[in-house]
Structure 1
């Protein structure tokens, strides 16, 4: 078979050739873990499954002034975006973002590196992230496999966060925690940043999107998860998830961006969650004048710096707006 014959063209992200080869244009750069002299946050990588090579990057903030009984820190489990197909927990974008969030919120962050579609189609990314979550929970008694977590983290205060496809993944993790449970882990809050959901019918002002934009987002679902029943599959559209009301978090904040094609999905998600019988509180916060994952591309702007403060404020119990 001609290896240059294209099966799926998702430029400028990636191309899939008919022989199964995937060429990624973005998200290939990685950087090693290292102490950050600016924030004092240290980091290290851990392979949690030699069979699958699923890994995490742990971020540990600079210790506060030593006391007789140092307080344990909450845990943030972060899952990166990239349409399920590009990027990693080790990319410069995500290393910088999660490191700054660990410092600002004073949390131990565990950033998950899952296997990518289309070579590893969904639900593999969900299963890899679930395996990482169980690995974190194994430290609840202080006798887990990683010294950086033992005796340092408070697994009664766990938060999930993710952007774009990562927000989709942490949503499903939160529902699974609620329906199945994970002993030793208490999910307090869920942060969805510009979440990648879709559906069989358009919502909000999605009819104003260019046809090629809609086609791109819809087709990507069939390539990343060939087994879905359609665009109203619960993987794609939480409206049709019968377990939505079992979502484990007490508080949810959904961040959307005014110029993001996925903006309406974030608002719609909050409506579905409210109607599901779920007993927590959900808030939607919209960033004006910005596009999809603006804070990753331009992290030093005032609006991006303030955005990280908002995320930290939610983790620290001060709501999502940080007004």
Structure 2
């Protein structure tokens, strides 16, 4: 049974969330250029490439610099978090350091996506931009796309979608869109990796906070990102989506944290996906004593290192093993 987080912890988180939305709904100034990692690892190369020139939106591509010519590596498409309001894939504090280290540890090529934030354009803009970026990535399937690194090194038989917080929400929506509304011919997702996914709902589920004020604060954050939505919209509450079973991936990995206010919703998502008729493999990993997106705040910590290890193992696992597929 999942442990209920203390009310003191919830109070602190809700106050932080309220201050966050009040602050960042007033003014946001994007950071235009930051190195791929504050640690500046010498073994990782990166470049930025426009995927939407008309909106001036880019992806950042990370590549191990020991990749040999035409060596094919697993491809991880990553969406950053920030509640749809803050963070750019080029700005600290963000996933830059984490991804730079993951590139080396998992020996993968990573594409991280910039999308319009809610201050500039409310939802579904972030989803639309993320889908455009995914189509741009898929344009390299025949090795004739605009970006040489993807043409030469991306293994399109091993594509993974991932993200943290709101980025995990986006990654889910992209996998769902691949299975429902639109398809990219020949582009298949081997796995979906969600870190501390940002999901919620109108009514509390078992173990979730019930205080009216707390839930109003969390609702406020969502409706200013998506003014025409409520908390049972499938964008924030995928359990209400009649197409949930059509998530286009055979494998799911979810990371949760004991002290995260959204922890129970992340577990509930995995449970409802399994109950929907989706027949894939899933694993849910919870870290004790940690909070929301802890792995981005201190990438050298034991648990952040362990989380990266579990991600790398999931990406590089031999999925032909029948004993794994049957779980």
Q: Using structure 1 for the length normalisation, give the TM-score.
A: 0.87
**Is residue 2:39 matched to residue 1:31?**
no
Aligned ranges 1:177-196 → 2 under 5 Å: 177-179=178-180, 180-196=182-198
CA shift, 1:212, in A, is 4.4
Equivalent residue, structure 2, for 1:295: 295
Relative contact order (alpha carbons < 8 A, sep ≥ 6): 1 or 2 greater?
2
Cα offsets for 1:104-140 (capped at 9, x unmatched): 1111100001010032100100010000000000000
Equivalent residue, structure 1, for 2:114: 113
User: How many pairs are equivalent?
Assistant: 302
**Quick one: which of 16, 19, 24 aligns to 1:11?**
19
Equivalent residue, structure 2, for 1:4: none
In structure 1, runs of 5+ residues without a counterpart are: 1-8
SS in 1 for 2:77: strand
C-alpha separation in 2, matches of 1:167 and 1:307: 15
SS in 2 for 1:119: coil
CA shift, 1:12, in A, is 3.3
Equivalent residue, structure 1, for 2:133: 132
SS in 2 for 1:148: helix
**Quick one: which of 59, 63, 68 aligns to 2:62?**
59
CA shift, 1:170, in A, is 0.3
C-alpha separation in 2, matches of 1:206 and 1:121: 27
- Quick check: 1:76–1:161 contact (8 Å CA) kept in 2? yes
SS in 2 for 1:141: coil
CA shift, 1:148, in A, is 1.4
SS in 1 for 2:197: coil
**Is residue 2:270 matched to residue 1:270?**
yes
Cα offsets for 1:4-54 (capped at 9, x unmatched): xxxxx942355367xxxx3249x8585134897646110011111111122
C-alpha separation in 2, matches of 1:81 and 1:95: 12
CA shift, 1:184, in A, is 2.8
**Quick one: which of 201, 207, 225 aligns to 1:199?**
201
- Quick check: 1:36–1:42 contact (8 Å CA) kept in 2? no
C-alpha separation in 2, matches of 1:35 and 1:220: 30
- Quick check: 2:24–2:85 contact (8 Å CA) kept in 1? no
CA shift in 2, pair 1:123/1:318, >3 Å: same
- Quick check: 1:171–1:190 contact (8 Å CA) kept in 2? yes
C-alpha separation in 2, matches of 1:246 and 1:12: 34
CA shift, 1:227, in A, is 1.4
Equivalent residue, structure 1, for 2:11: none
- Quick check: 2:79–2:113 contact (8 Å CA) kept in 1? yes
- Quick check: 2:39–2:97 contact (8 Å CA) kept in 1? no
- Quick check: 2:38–2:97 contact (8 Å CA) kept in 1? no
- Quick check: 1:295–1:304 contact (8 Å CA) kept in 2? yes
CA shift, 1:77, in A, is 0.2
CA shift in 2, pair 1:36/1:149, >3 Å: farther
Equivalent residue, structure 1, for 2:238: 238
Q: Using structure 2 for the length normalisation, give the TM-score.
A: 0.86
- Quick check: 1:81–1:163 contact (8 Å CA) kept in 2? yes
In structure 2, runs of 5+ residues without a counterpart are: 1-16
Cα offsets for 1:232-264 (capped at 9, x unmatched): 111110111121111011100111100000000
CA shift, 1:101, in A, is 1.4
SS in 2 for 1:223: helix
Cα offsets for 1:142-166 (capped at 9, x unmatched): 0001111112111121000100000
CA shift in 2, pair 1:36/1:222, >3 Å: closer
